[in-house]
Amino acid sequence: MAEGLLSVDGLTKRFGGVVASDDVRLDVTRGELHAIIGPNGAGKTTLIGQLAGEIVPDAGRIHFDGHDITALPVHGRSLMGLARSFQITSLFPHFTALENVALAVQAHAGHSFRFWGDARQETSLREPARAALERVGIAHRADTIVANMSHGEHRQLELAMALATGPRILLLDEPMAGLGADESSRMVKTLRGLKRDLTILLIEHDMEAVFALADRITVLVYGRVIASGDPASIRANAEVRAAYLGEQEAVTHV
């Protein structure tokens, strides 16, 4: 039996009359890439926001590595090893790629931001930052000003910033969004390499990428889990296919 790392039990979140998370139950096994898919408005981003600690659930519990983290703030979860990427842009456009990642290392360590110039030159920050850039394939762009990098490179840089915090699980919210075919291919290759060492929870609309990467897939519709299983069982599930009617691209791939 694979060991569980992240567990969600009965998670519920309402916004007025809208139930964004409807008694969600989810288990993410240590070492797997678990994808969350669903039509627009299914509640995927609300779910990951609750897992990251940015949204407080109305009911239910979240456990990470056996600890109840339901009431733990974002920074506390980060210190435990949860890292979220791609939802909130956190890049400094006039700094280099290396400096951006070094600042992420500094923030995770809880150091002061009063002396950014010193932080950007600190060896103890720059070495792990350079290693993170290497892991996502853009070490050669370390000294490039972020404003001069492409959208795809920004996505890779945001991933490097998350990796620099030493996560045990990555929460990725649509890393393929806005990427061209070549950039998406590079991102898939990067994530395939990372999944050998990390547990990843992936929210993604690109079904081709999902089925290429995922060990397990959970499907949300109107905030409710309608199916969860390996890619083959999800691909063959009639209820899942019906949920995607009207989203032609998704139907084509599912």
Residue 34 token pair: 């678990």
Percentage of residues in the chain having pLDDT higher than 90: 70
Residue with tokens 């659930």: 57
pLDDT tens, residue by residue, 61-118: 999 999 999 999 998 998 899 998 754 457 899 999 999 999 888 877 765 444 455 5
Paired residues of 172 in beta bridges: 85, 202
| Contact assessment for residue 106 and residue 119, using Cβ atoms and an 8 Å cutoff | yes
- Please tell me what DSSP assigns to residue 177: T
> Tell me, what's the pLDDT at 101?
92
Mean pLDDT, the chain, as a whole number?
A: 88
Give the predicted TM-score (pTM) of the model.
Answer: 0.88
Q: Say whether pLDDT at 120 is over 90.
A: no
| Contact assessment for residue 11 and residue 47, using Cβ atoms and an 8 Å cutoff | yes
Q: Is 36 in a helix, a strand, or coil? A: strand
pLDDT band at 210 (very low <50, low <70, confident <90, very high): very high
Paired residues of 14 in beta bridges: 19
> Tell me, what's the pLDDT at 103?
87
- Type of residue found at 191: L
Domain ranges of the chain: 1-81+168-254, 89-166
Assigned CATH class of 1-81+168-254: alpha beta
